[in-house]
Amino acid sequence: MEPLKDNTVEPELPYYEPVGSECELFRLAWERHLPLLLKGPTGCGKTRFVSHMAARLGRPLFTVACHDDLTAADLTGRYLLQDGETRWVDGPLTRAVREGGICYLDEVVEARKDVTVVLHPLTDDRRVLPLERTGEMLAAPPEFMLVVSYNPGYQDILKSLKPSTRQRFVALDVDFPPPELECDIVAQESGLPRERCAALVNLAARLRAMRGQDLEEGVSTRLLIYCATLMQAGMPVLEAARSTLVSPLTDDDDVQEGLMEAIRATFG
């Protein structure tokens, strides 16, 4: 790669194949200071998309995988005892605001309710982050952007975003890439030849169609990549499929057997 004039080498962008005009939407939302909500199943490329866009826009990225113990203080920061002194340490959201970065809260519905209290003033035209503990009111610079994701496929109604929160975001529906593109992605990420990836992608369509009462989640692009990676390393296809496309999805023996039947029907 050609060195740039100031002798730094242009960093490579994280690999991302656009599915539609999502890159343009992201850029526009960032330019116009609008927060973005990504709605889609797990393992369909949301995290990769955000890291790709952050790199393209040249902004630092702060990613937080939300969980049910995550509190507002985990995002904003807290006083910690360091070398016998109590010091304030910024959390990832505060750092993103101070540094004009992109803060990505993955699976935001998992977080505790108090998290929405800190997000609301950042997601309207105030664009401020109140830090109660330090008494600061941080104004977000124009480069700051908040991106959150959630998976609307989960059945749990309590784990849905409240309308008062979701109506603060520009929303983008994301799904597994269409077959041709998913094939390119799986081949690129695993190194497995494209024709063998095509068979896996066809199989994924059949397995995704079985999603329903017994199976909460369909097989993700991520799991297809795992399967292809094991196959590329020489593992027989049925074994690779069992450990990546069946076992991670369900503990139920009957459902597992149903999935394996579909796999045997495809690969014999």
Residues near ligand ADP (CB under 6 A) = 15-17, 19, 42-48, 177, 185, 189, 221-222, 225
Select 43 or 77, whichever has its Cβ closest to ligand ADP. 43
In whole angstroms, the minimum distance from the beta carbon of 43 to ligand ADP comes to 4
Q: Are 237 and 202 in contact (CB under 8 A)?
A: no
Select 140 or 204, whichever has its Cβ closest to ligand ADP. 204
In whole angstroms, the minimum distance from the beta carbon of 261 to ligand ADP comes to 26
In whole angstroms, the minimum distance from the beta carbon of 142 to ligand ADP comes to 26
Residue ranges of the alpha helices (H) in the chain?
Answer: 22-31, 46-57, 72-76, 92-99, 114-119, 163-166, 179-190, 194-209, 221-232, 237-241, 253-267
Select 29 or 38, whichever has its Cβ closest to ligand ADP. 38
- What is the C-alpha to C-alpha distance for residues 94 and 79, in angstroms, rounded to an integer? 13
Contacts 24+ apart (CB under 8 A), 11-17: 11/55, 13/52, 13/55, 13/56, 14/48, 14/51, 14/52, 14/55, 15/48, 15/52, 15/188, 15/189, 16/45, 16/48, 16/49, 16/52, 17/177, 17/181, 17/184, 17/185, 17/188
In whole angstroms, the minimum distance from the beta carbon of 266 to ligand ADP comes to 21
Select 183 or 246, whichever has its Cβ closest to ligand ADP. 183
In whole angstroms, the minimum distance from the beta carbon of 107 to ligand ADP comes to 9
Q: Are 178 and 221 in contact (CB under 8 A)?
A: no
In whole angstroms, the minimum distance from the beta carbon of 41 to ligand ADP comes to 7
Select 148 or 263, whichever has its Cβ closest to ligand ADP. 148
Q: Are 258 and 206 in contact (CB under 8 A)?
A: no
In whole angstroms, the minimum distance from the beta carbon of 16 to ligand ADP comes to 4
Block residue for tokens 């975001």 = 169
Select 225 or 246, whichever has its Cβ closest to ligand ADP. 225
- What is the C-alpha to C-alpha distance for residues 189 and 25, in angstroms, rounded to an integer? 25
Select 180 or 257, whichever has its Cβ closest to ligand ADP. 180
Select 90 or 189, whichever has its Cβ closest to ligand ADP. 189
In whole angstroms, the minimum distance from the beta carbon of 228 to ligand ADP comes to 10
**Both tokens assigned to 62:** 């702060």
Q: Are 262 and 246 in contact (CB under 8 A)?
A: no
What is the sign, positive or negative, of the torsion defined by CA atoms of 229, 249, 154, 161? Answer: negative
